[in-house]
A = this chain, B = another copy of it.
Amino acid sequence: MNQPVLGVDVGGTRAKFVVLDGEGQVIQTGEVASDPGSAARTLAAVAGALDPSLWPDREPDASSAAGLAGVGLACAGVVDPDRGWLGRSPNLPGWEDSDLFAAVGRVFGNVDRAVANDVNSALYGEARRGAGRGCRDLVMIALGTGVGGGVILNERLIIGAHCGAGEIGHMVLDPEGPVCTCGNPGCLESYAGSVGLLKAARKAARDGAAPGVRALAEEKGPDLTTRDLALLAEAGDQGAVALFAAAGQRLGQAVGNLVNILDPERVIIGGGVARAGDLILEPCRRTAKDIILAVEAKKTPIVPAELGTGAAALGAALLVASRENAP
């Protein structure tokens, strides 16, 4: 099978894509504006951005769509990979309850298709090419605006009976904790997603416990980011360090619980908040080690993701390539 495959990670504002050749090498990457109201327009924009002249062994005037063996899509939301269906999807309101296999077919013709939740795609990418290489059993937690998750066991993504698995961000860690966007108190997301972390930072600033954070919050106003906070912490501000430590301890509680339930070979932490690195990962590791019961499992590596923001597009391409190569 020598034809290229395309992977697309569709966010609310941008669609990232990657093209792999028949040997799985990356031969093009790019991104276009996504249209949260229309899958067809977004996919047509991606098709328009494909440039087969960049692809080795490809005639410059070949139709890009005709040249593809398969297209994989990653979307936030509830995705049914068997039926190619997208259910609830807050970032893509115009795509909800739609047949993504059909949408791909209308733009790219009769190609192989795969769809997956974006965090599952990213996990699959990490499992094949990133921080999870060589592992059969993996858990991933993605610390973004919200907190997503994914599980691979016996080399297979766990989808769930209602395509609802992997909602690790909504593990309730303390029924008296801060209220999450989902309405429940004390979800992991309310501690370790960027919305929750920024809320905790503003509270610490108000309480007077963190003068450095307060000064930064006043300077940045509504533009304050977790990256700003991480830079402050890296510069030695103890109030900022404490914020990441608190988030990391809650992350460690979640990781410890997950290892007790599933005992994976490795736990991968990705997403923008994870760019704070050991500021959040070291407290996470300490707490998780305390909670993990099985002595051997206490050594389970808790590692940062390696593929960055391109993980989901790559994972989607690898998913469709693996399907294409299935017996």
Chain A residues engaging chain B, CB cutoff 8 angstroms: 78, 88, 137, 149, 151, 153-154, 156, 158-168, 170-176, 182, 184, 249, 253, 256-265, 290-297, 300
Contacts and interface: CB of A to CB of B under 8 A. Distances in A.
B161 A137 contact: yes
Contacts of A184: 290-291
B261 A161 contact: no
Number of this chain's copies in the assembly equals 2
Given A153-B158, A175-B174, A262 B293 contact: no
Name A's interface SS.
Answer: loop
B170 A264 contact: no
Contact of A294 (B162, B173, B175, B296): B162
Nearest to A164: B294
A323 to B, nearest CB: 17
Contacts of A172: 173, 253, 256-257, 291
Given A137-B161, A184-B290, A171 B300 contact: no
A167 to B, nearest CB: 4
Nearest to A259: B164
Contact of A260 (B153, B164, B295, B297): B164
A246 to B, nearest CB: 11
Contact of A265 (B156, B161, B176): B161
A294 B167 contact: yes
Contacts of A264: 160-161
Contacts of A175: 173-174, 249, 253
Contacts of A151: 261-262
A84 B264 CA distance: 20
Nearest to A295: B88
A171 B171 CA distance: 11
A173 B254 CA distance: 10
B296 A171 contact: no
Nearest to A160: B263
A61 to B, nearest CB: 46
Given A151-B261, A161-B264, A167-B294, 9 more contacts: A162-B263, A162-B294, A164-B296, A167-B260, A172-B291, A174-B174, A174-B175, A175-B253, A182-B293
8 contacts: A159-B263, A164-B259, A164-B293, A167-B263, A167-B293, A172-B173, A172-B256, A173-B175
Contacts of A294: 78, 160, 162-164, 167
